[in-house]
């Protein structure tokens, strides 16, 4: 049976599923889920580290600087969540090693996809990464955590205003027995705040993430850097999207076969972190952030060393910083232990 058949049977037996439960099944079902079975990167979508090595190199410089600003603690942990094929971390560690920080860091990866975990293990073998749960390791030593395009994959609950009440969107079956979106009959039990429109998305895992970081920062100093797409001044409405072989498709059409994603509510994440007593920097746009870290200078150095690849190098960096490309759509947020100085780039 396919995941679609499984979901139909589940809905027939127990009723419609919240959008978050549908999203979680599509991404994480151990037998048919997208992350369990699909390569993703390079086929269905492309991420910044795959576009240009400059992205990972600049984040490596950032991590090295922030580690030094914490007093260069040894040991320290470098943590990545949702590391894809390991490209970004390999670029980061190359720069960190040249800067003298390689011996201090132990590497921890948190990866939901067995396919990607295997690739990371191979790409980062010389650094002996720990795959036993990066979040569980937080708090054991001072750390720098980075997560690029991970928050957008956290399942989201969707709500719509109907007859003056918030009601949750669900995935059920239409008259033909096919998957279809609908609205729950009862009013939503979860209040939705900071919303001016008629629809809202809420990622419950953002609260868990802040709780984990708060507890870790009670033990050790550290920073957590998140890069993703989404607004900073409003709660997203209905942004659930699916991608298959580079094309946007119906989120209900290919469960388990397509990547599902939503916009990140950076404003809510910042508010949650601030309420928890964390230091919050940003969110800021990705373009200005990377330029402030030296994207232009690094691009010119690469072009000088590889003149035959000048056009490709320039085009890659342009896509990262150009407001018409990723420069303004993607945002950067840093959450830090209380008492640390403001991080670079903000």
pLDDT tens-digit map of 109-124? 888 777 788 888 888 8
Q: Is 28 within a domain?
A: no
CB neighbours of residue 128 within 10 Å = 9
Flag whether 51 is in a domain: yes
Compute the mean pLDDT over every residue in the chain, rounded to the nearest whole number.
89
Q: What is the pLDDT of residues 124-137, one digit of tens each?
A: 888 888 876 667 77
Give the pLDDT score at 196.
Answer: 67
**Residue 190 placed within a domain:** no
Mean pLDDT over 311-330 rounds to 92
- What's the rounded mean pLDDT across residues 76-92? 89
Does residue 327 form part of some domain? yes
The DSSP annotation for 280-333 comes to: EEEEEEHHHHHHHTTHHHHHHHHHHH-GGGHHHHHHHHHHHH-TTTTTTTEEEE
Instruction: Tell me whether residue 238 is in a domain.
Output: no
Neighbouring residues of 156: CB distance < 8 A, sequence distance ≥ 6 = 19, 20, 23, 201, 202, 203, 236, 240, 262
Number of structural domains in the chain: 1
Per the structure block, which two tokens stand in for 9?
Answer: 């049977």
Average pLDDT for 263-290:
96
Using the predicted structure, report yes or no on whether residue 175 has a pLDDT greater than 50. Answer: yes
The residue among 131, 338, 147, 140 whose CA lies nearest residue 224 is 147
Contact between residue 226 and residue 147 where contact means Cβ atoms under 8 Å apart: yes
The stretch 23-45 carries a mean pLDDT of 75
On the question of pLDDT at 205 being above 70, the answer is: yes
Residue 115 lies in a domain: yes
Cα–Cα–Cα angle for 324, 303, 53, nearest 5°? 60
Residue 133's domain is classified under what CATH number? 3.40.50.150
Is 179 inside any structural domain? no
pLDDT of residue 103: 79
Strand, helix or coil at 60? Answer: helix
Q: How many residues does the chain have?
A: 346
Give residue 138's domain range: 33-154+203-230+265-336
pLDDT of residue 46: 72
The pLDDT value given to residue 190: 61
Please state the rounded mean pLDDT for residues 263-289.
96
pLDDT for the residue 42: 47
Does residue 248 sit within a domain?
A: no
């Amino acid at each position: 049976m396919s995941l679609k058949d499984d979901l139909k049977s589940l809905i027939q037996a127990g009723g419609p599923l919240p959008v978050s439960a549908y999203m979680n099944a599509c991404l994480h079902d151990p037998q048919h889920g997208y992350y369990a079975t699909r390569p993703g990167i390079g086929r269905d979508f492309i991420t910044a580290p795959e576009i240009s090595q400059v992205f990972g190199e600049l984040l490596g410089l950032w991590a090295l600087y922030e580690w030094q600003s914490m007093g260069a603690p040894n040991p320290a942990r470098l943590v990545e969540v949702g590391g894809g094929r390991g490209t970004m971390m390999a670029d980061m560690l190359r720069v960190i090693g040249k800067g003298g920080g390689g011996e201090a860091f132990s590497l921890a990866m948190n990866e939901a996809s067995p396919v990607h975990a295997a690739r990371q293990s191979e790409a980062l073998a010389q650094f002996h990464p720990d795959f036993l749960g990066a979040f569980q390791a937080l708090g054991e030593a001072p750390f720098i955590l980075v997560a690029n395009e991970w928050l957008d994959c956290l399942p989201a609950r969707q709500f719509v205003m109907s007859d003056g009440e918030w009601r949750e969107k669900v995935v059920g079956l239409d008259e033909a027995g096919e998957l279809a979106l609908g609205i729950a009959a009862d009013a939503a039990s979860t209040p939705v705040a900071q919303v001016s429109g008629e629809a809202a998305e809420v990622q419950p895992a953002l609260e868990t993430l802040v709780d984990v970081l708060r507890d870790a920062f009670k033990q050790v100093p550290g920073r957590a850097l998140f890069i993703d797409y989404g607004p900073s001044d409003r709660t997203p409405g209905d942004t659930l999207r699916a991608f298959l072989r580079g094309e946007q498709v119906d989120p209900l059409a290919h469960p388990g076969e397509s990547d599902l994603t939503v916009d990140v509510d950076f404003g809510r994440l910042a508010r949650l972190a601030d309420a928890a007593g964390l230091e919050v920097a940003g969110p800021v746009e990705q373009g200005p952030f990377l330029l402030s870290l030296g994207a232009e200078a690094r691009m010119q150095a690469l072009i000088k060393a590889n003149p035959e690849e000048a056009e490709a190098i320039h085009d890659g960096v342009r896509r990262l910083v150009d407001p018409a490309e990723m420069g303004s759509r993607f945002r950067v947020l840093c959450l830090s232990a209380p008492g640390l100085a403001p991080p670079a780039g903000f």
